[in-house]
């Protein structure tokens, strides 16, 4: 749907200017939004019109960057309805500001930037921890990675639309209304559970912050949060050495960074950090899907021993996984083909054979058992 919206904007732009700029203004004037006397259709049509190549390129560039991932989370129909609603609410925000300030009410507006601001606001809520690579040039050219949360709030909302309101003929208030709609609408649908839960989105971050706040308040009042009892003082039974504290802090940081990189789609880098975590003799597993993703990546990298250990840890903690037999099949193949451990390979393969339903996987399992027993 995101690609479809980009294509529709381009097609309309080409049709709009097919007869030259003067013809374009005549053709499109009925579809622009005039705040003082709007027609209902203009709340949608204005968002598909642009005033020049630079205007449409800038808008569609940001729609391409931020829209695809939001589209994935909302689905095609949901994303389309959200995009159009963003255009409507951005128009209402612009009209409200024009009425309040008493200026610009008779000036027609056009452009997708309000709807795209809503999409960007949605991205802020759904993917706040994603790193966005920025190219900069001063005396030299380089790149740096900035979390989406900071880039969107500080640069795109605060600096570009509140501080730097110098450019003429720019509907800044439509942009701000779009951002506000995007953030609040997605927080609402996330809060009521209309979209899939994600432990890395802004809603989950707010819930985690609130849990930490409540915990700190409870402890500060002298309550043992585990026993539920009021006490003047919570006794500390174990005094950890500085070295132990540093080790636990390092382990916590590694786990957090692994999950962050998985959320960003950087599975290879997360797998490398996991191998560092393993060196610290950590027994606790990662969350189920994270553990499985890391195991698959280690196998893809050809680190057979580490992959086998990761898969076995996965089964030991998540043995009830609905596709555990596929994990057993992978372990059987690894031990049989790459680690030369025939006994372990046959054990896993025979267990997998009893539960596998997919004909191709079952045949692969039987072939591997036949090869090892021949």
DSSP code, position 336: I
pLDDT for the residue numbered 346: 93
Phi-psi region of 111 (alpha: psi -120 to 50; beta: other; left: phi over 0): left
pLDDT digits (tens, 9 = 90+) for 132-191: 777 877 667 877 777 787 888 887 777 777 776 666 677 788 889 999 999 999 999 988
Q: Could you give the CA distance from residue 175 to residue 94 in angstroms, rounded to a whole number?
A: 8
Domain 2-191 falls under CATH 1.20.1540.10: yes
Tokens linked to 205: 């971050």
The pLDDT tens digits of the residues spanning 334-344 come to 999 999 999 99
Strand partners, 132: 146
Mean pLDDT, the chain, as a whole number? Answer: 83
- 8-37 pLDDT, tens digit per residue, is 999 999 888 776 655 555 677 888 888 888
Q: What percent of the chain has pLDDT over 70?
A: 87
**How high is the pLDDT of residue 222?**
57
* Helix (H/G/I), strand (E/B), else coil: 347: helix
Alpha helix stretches (DSSP H) within the chain: 2-16, 20-28, 42-45, 53-74, 76-101, 113-126, 148-150, 172-191, 202-220, 242-263, 267-279, 288-300, 304-317, 324-333, 342-355, 359-373
Q: pLDDT at position 224, please?
A: 53
Looking at per-residue pLDDT, the higher value among 260 and 280 belongs to 260
The tens digit of pLDDT for each residue in 262-321 reads: 888 888 888 888 888 888 777 777 888 888 889 988 988 889 999 999 999 888 888 777
Give 52-86 pLDDT, tens digit per residue: 888 899 899 999 989 998 998 899 999 999 999 99
CA atoms of 178 and 63, how far apart (whole Å) = 13
Tell me the domain boundaries of the chain: 2-191, 199-230
Q: For tokens 């701000």, what's the residue?
A: 176
- What is residue 84's predicted lDDT score, i.e. its pLDDT? 96
Q: How confident is the model at residue 120 (pLDDT cuts 50, 70, 90)?
A: very high
pLDDT in tens, 92-105: 998 888 887 766 66
Which pLDDT value is given to residue 341? 92
pTM of the entire predicted model: 0.58
Instruction: Please say if the pLDDT value at position 228 is more than 70.
Output: no
């Amino acid at each position: 749907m995101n690609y479809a919206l980009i294509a529709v904007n381009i097609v309309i732009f080409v049709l709009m200017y097919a007869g030259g700029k003067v013809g374009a203004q005549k053709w499109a004037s009925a579809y622009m939004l005039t705040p003082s006397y709007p027609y209902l259709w203009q709340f949608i049509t204005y968002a598909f019109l642009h005033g020049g190549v630079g205007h449409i390129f800038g808008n569609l560039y940001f729609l391409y960057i931020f829209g695809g991932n939001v589209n994935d989370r909302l689905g095609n129909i949901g994303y389309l309805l959200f995009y159009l609603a963003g255009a409507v609410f951005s128009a209402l925000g612009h009209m409200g500001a024009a009425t309040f300030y008493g200026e610009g009410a008779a000036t027609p507006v056009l452009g997708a930037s309000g709807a795209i601001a809503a999409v960007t606001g949605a991205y802020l809520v759904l993917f706040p921890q994603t790193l966005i690579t920025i190219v900069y040039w001063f005396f030299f050219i380089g790149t740096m990675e900035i979390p989406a949360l900071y880039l969107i709030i500080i640069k795109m909302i605060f600096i570009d639309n509140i501080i730097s309101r110098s450019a003429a003929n720019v509907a800044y208030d439509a942009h701000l209304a779009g951002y506000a709609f995007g953030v609040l609408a997605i927080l609402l649908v996330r809060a009521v559970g209309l979209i899939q839960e994600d432990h890395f989105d802004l809603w989950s971050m707010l819930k985690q912050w609130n849990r930490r706040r409540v915990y700190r308040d409870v402890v500060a009042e002298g309550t043992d949060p585990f026993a539920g009892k009021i006490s003047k003082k919570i006794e500390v039974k174990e005094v950890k050495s500085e070295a132990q504290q540093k080790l636990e802090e390092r382990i916590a940081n590694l786990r957090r960074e692994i999950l962050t990189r998985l959320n960003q789609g950087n599975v290879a880098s997360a797998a490398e950090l996991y191998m560092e975590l393993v060196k610290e003799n950590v027994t606790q597993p990662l969350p189920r899907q994270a553990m499985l993703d890391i195991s698959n990546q280690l196998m893809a990298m050809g680190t057979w021993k580490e992959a086998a250990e990761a898969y076995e840890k996965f089964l030991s903690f998540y043995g009830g996984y609905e596709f555990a037999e596929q994990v057993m099949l992978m372990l059987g193949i690894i031990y049989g083909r790459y680690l030369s451990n025939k006994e372990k390979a046959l054990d896993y393969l025979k267990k997998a054979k009893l539960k596998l339903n997919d004909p191709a996987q079952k045949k692969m399992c039987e072939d591997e058992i036949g090869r090892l027993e021949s």
